[in-house]
Amino acid sequence: MKYLLAYTLPLASLLGIYVGKSCCYLGVVYAFILIPFLEIILPKDATNLNKERISRVEHNWIFDALLYLNIPIVYGSIWYTMQLITYTSKEIHEWIGIILSLGIILGANGINVAHELGHRKKKWERILGKLLLIPTFYMHFYVEHNLGHHVHVATPEDPSTAKYNQNVYAFWYQTIIGTYKKAWQIQLKLNKINHNSFFTLQNDMFWFTIIQISYLLLVYFIFNTNGLLLTTSSGIVGFLLLETINYIEHYGLKRTQLPSGRYERVTEKHSWNSNHIMGRILLYELTRHSDHHYKASKKYQILEYHDVSPQMPFGYPTSMVIALFPPLWFNVMNKRVPETMK
């Protein structure tokens, strides 16, 4: 039940928003000051489950239920926060704290969980994943991540792979525009292959656009301009958190191009791994990203550590903070990128 700790992120954020004043930043302090501190002092855990344990937990409904509960948490947080800013007056510094705290919920408990559910085999679970992408206006992530990123990761063709010596701010520009553009390219290609028209029910990108515009219109209709401003701003924070994670997950790693022009298959060495326990728990094992790309169908609770995977010196939350200071990031990470990939 250690994964119950993943709920402490929205709990801390909502508690701070409820108390108000400077406490509105409690979610930020918890996620990017307290958690990094704990990651530094707590031991790393590189152990893997044995085969018997894997067989017991892989299909245990509790691990799935823990993911599903994030849907009411995310939408409940949005509703509560919208009510708060609609019916009470807030100072500018409180607005900023509320936007950042809600954005953390949308990123960690929204997009991150949507990523896990988006890889599931059951259609209704993938639908739940799509629901969690709406508040961050990132429904296209479902198309591009599954059909683009996992195919082209660690190659120049992947907008979600950060290049060696590329700073996070340049990467944001590359990936935000690149993944949206690539999602449309993938969708139009699928339409052509399946002989579907643009307005078909199978055109996910078209319906994602309609859904997200409708979401914003609904927010404006119920909560007016303040609600729309909060929704838009916190959604941006949410997807910037996602893209910062994308930045650290594959920074500087490259697959070898073969004489045929194709790239070597994706292995455990093409993603950065972290065994820092707090990041593992709070992000539902996303930090064991090497194994995820090696076998994308594996559920989060059975992801494994591999000795050949490149290891981060810090956990993902700590690394995200470091990435915001490019000279510090380059100093920490450049020497860890394999020489054969530079």
User: Residues 224-277: pLDDT tens digits?
Assistant: 999 999 999 999 999 999 999 999 999 999 999 999 989 999 999 999 999 999
Q: Rounded to an integer, what distance in angstroms lies between the CA atom of residue 106 and that of residue 240?
A: 10
Which string of DSSP letters, residue by residue, matches 323-337? HTSHHHHHHHHGGGS
Q: Rounded to an integer, what distance in angstroms lies between the CA atom of residue 288 and that of residue 302?
A: 10
Contact 45, 277 (CB under 8 A): yes
For the segment 122-131, what is each residue's pLDDT rounded down to a tens digit? 999 999 999 9
Residue 52, pLDDT score: 87
For the segment 137-179, what is each residue's pLDDT rounded down to a tens digit? 999 999 999 999 999 999 999 999 999 999 999 999 999 999 9
For the segment 6-41, what is each residue's pLDDT rounded down to a tens digit? 999 999 999 999 999 999 999 999 999 999 999 989
Please tell me which residue, 1 or 284, carries the higher pLDDT value: 284
Is the pLDDT at 91 greater than 90? The verdict is yes
Amino acid (1-letter code) at residue 284: Y
Q: Rounded to an integer, what distance in angstroms lies between the CA atom of residue 116 and that of residue 99?
A: 25
| Average pLDDT over every residue of 98-106 | 97
Residue range(s) defining the domain that contains residue 61:
2-341
For the segment 199-220, what is each residue's pLDDT rounded down to a tens digit? 888 899 999 999 999 999 999 9
The total number of structural domains in the chain stands at 1
Q: Report helix, strand or coil for 288.
A: strand
Contact 32, 321 (CB under 8 A): yes
